[in-house]
């Protein structure tokens, strides 16, 4: 029974999902567990009281856990986004809350005067040179973030492509960033961290896993063996979306188990 390690509730700025409805959908979908990983985008730490937000998120978690105990394995987590923007804050928020699971992500980079999250950038009028430079900076920032911060799972490694390719129909050649991506994979392996297979882009026409099969192959060939799966659900309807596709691919690669985290300790469960 699969564990979805990446979900969002109404405590995230871009979701209105009731955690009770998320759990009900997870049970109906036959999931074995879910991790609540609401956003903490450090770029905006002066605009949002994240400490108060996660106090409320913890209360939500305890309430749903009391109801669904025995039906689902539930975990309390965080998606720590863009800690390079505020390293001291990022380290502090981690110490102030007892998270089971810490996802690490990059949603914004500082490139050519642009600092807003890439989900808010209109790439329609950006030329190839800008996009290449932006992606190069993105992967550099991911590498630095993986090296500098404490976390359990690196999520949606290639997430800018969800916008560049699926929304703006830009052509992107990831081989231009192979060296940087391999450095990220090596760092994950060296630090014994987990690589997420994120399924959120599969729901769009022409959608894909993040990262794709090529990068998964390279991770495995370099000695990587730690995987988690996440639908990145922002609504109950998406709680299990695409997870079977991720598992099917991993089984083809002879991956027989997946990871989740309780009290920041890795647990592995069989998928065969």
- The tens digit of pLDDT for each residue in 167-189 reads 999 999 999 999 999 999 999 99
- C-beta of residue 249 within 8 angstroms of C-beta of residue 199: no
Band of residue 24 on the pLDDT scale cut at 50, 70, 90: very high
| Alpha-carbon torsion angle 207, 106, 138, 5, nearest 10 | -40
Class in CATH terms, 3-270: alpha beta
Band of residue 266 on the pLDDT scale cut at 50, 70, 90: very high
- Taking Cα atoms as reference points, which of 210, 195, 219 lies closest to residue 245? 210
For residue 57, what pLDDT is reported? 98
CA–CA distances in Å: residue 94 to residues 26, 53, 114: 27, 13, 27
CA distance 40 to 63: 21
For the chain, percent of residues with pLDDT exceeding 90: 99
CA distance 34 to 79: 14
For residue 100, what pLDDT is reported? 98
- C-beta of residue 224 within 8 angstroms of C-beta of residue 166: no
The average pLDDT across 116-142 equals 96
Give the pTM.
0.97
For residue 164, what pLDDT is reported? 98
């Amino acid at each position: 029974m699969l564990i979805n390690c990446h979900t969002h509730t109404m405590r995230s700025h871009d979701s209105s999902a009731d955690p009770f409805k998320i759990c009900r959908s997870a049970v109906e979908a036959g999931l074995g567990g879910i991790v609540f990983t609401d956003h903490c985008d450090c770029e905006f730490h002066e605009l949002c009281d994240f400490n108060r937000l996660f106090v409320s998120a913890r209360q939500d978690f305890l309430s749903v856990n009391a109801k669904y105990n025995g039906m689902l394995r539930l975990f309390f987590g965080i998606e720590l986004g863009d800690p390079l923007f505020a390293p001291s804050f990022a380290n502090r928020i981690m110490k102030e809350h007892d998270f089971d699971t810490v996802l690490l992500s990059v949603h914004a980079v500082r490139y050519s005067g642009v600092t807003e999250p890439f989900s808010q950038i209109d790439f329609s009028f950006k030329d190839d040179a800008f996009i290449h430079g932006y992606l190069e900076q993105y992967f550099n920032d991911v590498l630095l973030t993986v090296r500098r911060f404490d976390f359990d799972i690196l999520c949606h490694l290639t997430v800018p492509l969800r916008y560049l390719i699926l929304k703006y129909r830009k052509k992107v050649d990831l081989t231009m960033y192979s060296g940087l991506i391999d450095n990220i994979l090596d760092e994950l392996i060296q630090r014994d961290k987990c690589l997420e297979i994120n399924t959120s882009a599969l729901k769009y026409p022409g959608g894909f896993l993040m990262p794709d099969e090529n990068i998964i192959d390279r991770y495995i060939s370099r000695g990587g063996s730690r995987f988690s799966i996440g639908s990145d659900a922002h609504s109950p309807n998406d709680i299990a979306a695409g997870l079977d596709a991720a598992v099917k691919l991993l089984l083809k690669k002879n991956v027989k188990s997946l990871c989740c985290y309780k009290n920041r300790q890795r647990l592995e469960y069989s998928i065969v």
